[in-house]
Structure 1
């Protein structure tokens, strides 16, 4: 059986690690196009200046408009044409990082990924998600290679609002359940997709046991250190528990989803983008709830559902539709979500049984009731 695993070239995590960013830029040349929101750049301005001076490199600041769209990619490509750079640095949250990956790949440059929050598992992957100008899911983009360097500064991440770390936990919670479903169905994984255009290439590989174990470690680490990491973030302090969850959210979940596989949870998340109320909520917050929908679809054991809901309750992750801004969702709206989640290209078809739109709509409604029941009466 053909299997595949894909990894970034280098992952480095630690306190004040951004002070070494200039060194990694210098391994590719003398300059970098810096893609990130102005407020994120200002948060780390002192470190950027220090590392640029120390290693003799230059950052060309490109900004970021807040959404990973085709138009934003084009704007940044135009900037590179006007002001050539030796590499690209993506700094900030997932959408800025994904945009940086697309821009670097399209221009044949190396990319350094420097997350300032641990809100999702995008940093390590060779894939990116593009959205429309209206903030709806557009398409996936697959780069020719994984990031050259992923640099996680835990001091910066600890200073960010706790909400971002929790969203990362929500994203990481899905990793094991989706990898397990993909493993059980022998479905292909993102690691097997073509890295660039490969004529005649058949992306048919399944995930490795290594990836499945990394995904399982996500679940285990969340249970053991999630609440302690939240308390560390509440106090803006780097502790071993916070470092462990940063690694879980970024590295383990990133490797776990890309080489272990996605299934229903992320496909239904893409479907949720048709509900306007969800747009104010982070990716990982919504994926926390769609993981519950996947468990309902699977008819998971009551003990497993209670474990997941118990964790959500302890740290404050969404358990119902109302928790992600979708109040009074009708069955017709649920079917609209399901329709988008069930398009032929979606990962929901990695579930180990046939899926149709009615199943997904039903599971969405029932998962919401399961969350409400837990809130009102405790474990099922």
Structure 2
């Protein structure tokens, strides 16, 4: 089987790049259909419109309804067709961007994504995570290509709530461990082949950057400033993690995240917060060395990522709930089977409970 690595057509990161959005987008099309959340439009609508027009682009804004679901994608498709737009632009968080990517795919248009936080590694990927209208995980939509452009204005991202940056660190935290597990299992990655050495190097660089700069970046963003550490963490959360997970592979950490979505108590938690706990549970599942587990626990506690079920809103969860989470993590064909070992719901349930015990003891 071939080794394959994939990436967005262009990754742009810097201060003030939102003001140059039209110049960046115009090579893709002149009539932009911009998918954006209502609060994002209130904060940035005028600035975005000025940036598009300065680059010679017409622009139409459509407000996102809040869930990356098939219902929302169909609504956007109808609106885009009426306007005869020739390029899709997603501006916002992970679900907005995933919806924009799916919309561009179904509409046969190029797509640019503009994350307003570094809360997930979704921007760079050729993947959209679909949910049902009630927020329960539906399925992964594998797209034929990565976004044409990923545009990151670090001034905007560094002023987003610090919890979003920390959540992105939780998502990025899993990248190295999942890619390494998938490589050990010789699993097929989202790129359609086995991991290249380059993908594994990027995944490891992502983890090393988190350990080196994660706490410094959190403290800076709490003060609404953008330092070199913040720039490094933004790149790790979005680019290194995005390429590392997609061309390296997903495994138990993301599968356990998917399982956690069936518990209503976790609905208020961000994607990366659940993935961080899933990473800890994956290490337990692998019986990783204690010094590795302690390093992950120490990092999570330093930046404020959850390491216990209580931290996810499941302090009072009974065994029936934990069992349901484990079974949902083990759906046939899921990424948990990229682990280099036999997987059963019983083993995943035990790993979740042991991870919770380790988290409580380490605190």
**Shift of residue 330, structure 1, vs aligned partner:** 1.7
1:245 to 230, 233, 255: 233
Q: Distance in 2 between matches of 1:146 and 1:215?
A: 18
C-alpha distance after superposition, 1:255-302 (max 9, x if no partner): 000000000000111000111110001000111111000011011100
For 1:1-380, what aligned pairs fall within 5 Å after superposition?
Answer: 1-192=1-192, 205-375=193-363
**Shift of residue 46, structure 1, vs aligned partner:** 3.8
**Shift of residue 47, structure 1, vs aligned partner:** 2.4
Q: Distance in 1 between matches of 2:114 and 2:319?
A: 41
Q: Over aligned residue pairs, what C-alpha RMSD do you find?
A: 0.9
**Shift of residue 324, structure 1, vs aligned partner:** 1.2
C-alpha distance after superposition, 1:282-333 (max 9, x if no partner): 0001111110000110111000010001111111111101111112222221
| Unpaired runs of at least 5, structure 1 | 193-204, 376-380
Q: TM-score normalized by structure 2?
A: 0.98
Q: Distance in 2 between matches of 1:101 and 1:62?
A: 15
Work out whether residues 162 and 234 of structure 1, in 8 Å CA contact, stay in contact via their aligned partners in 2.
yes
Work out whether residues 277 and 326 of structure 1, in 8 Å CA contact, stay in contact via their aligned partners in 2.
yes
| Unpaired runs of at least 5, structure 2 | none
**Shift of residue 185, structure 1, vs aligned partner:** 0.6
Work out whether residues 169 and 249 of structure 1, in 8 Å CA contact, stay in contact via their aligned partners in 2.
yes
Work out whether residues 121 and 172 of structure 1, in 8 Å CA contact, stay in contact via their aligned partners in 2.
yes
Work out whether residues 179 and 203 of structure 2, in 8 Å CA contact, stay in contact via their aligned partners in 1.
yes
C-alpha distance after superposition, 1:97-125 (max 9, x if no partner): 00000000111100000000000000000
Runs (4+) off by over 4 Å:
none
Q: TM-score normalized by structure 1?
A: 0.94
Q: Distance in 2 between matches of 1:360 and 1:155?
A: 41
Residue 307 of structure 2: SS of its match in structure 1? coil
